[in-house]
Amino acid sequence: MPVTNETVVVTGLGATTPLGGDVATTWQAMLRGESGIRAVEDDWAAELPVRIAGRLRQEPAGLLDRVQARRMDRCEQIALVAAREAWADAGRPGVEPERLAVVIGTGTGGVLTLLGQDDVLEASGVRKVSPHTVPMLMANGPAAWVSMELGARGGAHTPVSACASGAEAIAMGLDLIRLGRADVVVAGGTEACVHPLPLAGFAQAKAHSTRNDDPAGASRPFDTGRDGLVIGEGAGVVVLERAGFAAARGARPHAVLAGAGVTSDAHHITAAHPEGQVRAMRLALSTAGLTPADIAHVHAHATSTQLGDLVEARSVAEAIGTHPSVTATKSMTGHLFGAAGAIGAIAAILAVRDGAVPAVRNLVDLDPQVDLDVVTGTPRHAPVPAALANAFGFGGHNASLVFTAAG
């Protein structure tokens, strides 16, 4: 089928985060300015320089069949939990299996299984290694599990683009529908890597906050006192539909996915380049048929690192301007890596739907180099006809999504 410009709508939302086990709980916690970041009290963390993380508020294993859960990595479990919520929220669309696709991104995949089974191998030998190790550690596992759950035969895809993975998955979903390859796409991101090795790695790179005595105050995007990101875990999934298909079955969309921009910097393995971010935002606007003046709100990637926050602030000002309200929910959830872009997208969708923008937590002293209208103190309630959500990742991956009001 030819490329079309048919409208793509968001009909389902699902999430499990450090703030709550579903979308509604997470969203209300964001609006209240709560924190999901806590001390890591496991024995293995005692000697680490970093002992804080955004762990899930609700454990996933209890929501799944016991045997099934034992055969899944944690990132697969939470992807399935979020996908089930999104699918139910969308009203379980009656779509032909060949017209239903899945795109679930991740940054590290089943890293907990990989590291855990390596420990088993070293300590107890090959006979103790789980026979389920490979399907548990493979990065495409979450997409595969979700596709099997829903009977999706239109493709199961896995963008692995560091912290841009979840947003790239949603952008790919838009492309699949506009290319005529699917009527419905279940898209999002998942991550579960709270483990001593990633914590130690980010600490050694001087990229992780060391506010061990103040977990709730550790992630502080755009604040002059920010000292690094905070690792978090979670999953976010949306159901995208061809507008005509959704209307025919009487679905009520949360918002319209109007455009997406995906670029790469080709610059540095960890340092972002503003030109790539600007291009991603401008491409998203172009595909949405909007101008910068149309954007009322930006959900910033804003990880709470010294350089990263400034690069993005300047990029937003150049690509969009200084007029939109800006928020950064990583101040509450921590950085969910492969899931971050999907959770950010959901927050932007809800801002459009509800006319509400959460305030950035822990923002006491706005960096004077950040020339943006950052929401502080209390949520801002005002119509949001169009919002843009950013997600940027190591390797120079940039993804921007534009959402507009439905109907």
How confident is the model over 236-293, as pLDDT tens digits? 999 999 999 999 999 999 999 999 999 999 999 998 888 999 999 999 999 999 999 9
Q: Which of 222, 197, 163 is nearest to 389 (CA)?
A: 163
Residue 394 CB coordination number (10 Å): 17
List the structure tokens of 372.
Answer: 């943006």
1 pLDDT band (50/70/90 cuts)?
A: very low
Sign of CA dihedral 231, 220, 285, 24: positive
User: All domains of the chain, ordered by start, with CATH?
Assistant: 8-249 (3.40.47.10), 260-405 (3.40.47.10)
Mean pLDDT of 99-117: 97
| pLDDT for the residue 407 | 77
Dist CA 169 CA 407 (whole Å): 25
What DSSP designation does 132 have?
T
> 74-89 and 141-150 helices cross at what angle (nearest 10)?
40
219/27 Cα distance (integer angstroms) = 18
At residue 319, does pLDDT exceed 90? yes
- Average per-residue pLDDT for the chain: 97
Q: Which long-range contacts (CB under 8 A, 24 or more apart) does 59-65 make?
A: 60/16, 63/21
CA distance linking residue 50 with residue 230, whole number of Å: 9
Q: Say what the pTM is.
A: 0.97
- SS3 of 77, please? helix
Whole-number percent of the chain with pLDDT over 90: 97
Residue 389: name the closest of 354, 337, 351, 335 by CA.
351
Sequence-distant (6+) residues with CB within 8 A of 32 are: none
d(CA 63, CA 65): 7
Active-site residue set: 163, 301, 335
Under 8 Å CB-to-CB from 389, ≥6 apart: which residues? 167, 298, 299, 341, 344, 345, 347, 348, 400, 401, 403
What is residue 224's predicted lDDT score, i.e. its pLDDT?
98
Q: What per-residue confidence (pLDDT) applies to 3?
A: 55
Q: What's the pLDDT score for residue 24? A: 98
pLDDT (0 to 100) of residue 5: 77
Closest CA to 349 of 274, 401, 407, 293: 401
Q: What is the pLDDT of residue 77?
A: 98
Categorize the per-residue pLDDT at 4 as very low, low, confident or very high, splitting at 50, 70 and 90. Answer: low
Residue 2 has pLDDT above 80, yes or no: no
Residue 53 CA to residue 60 CA, distance in Å, equals: 17
> What pLDDT is stored for residue 6 in this prediction?
85
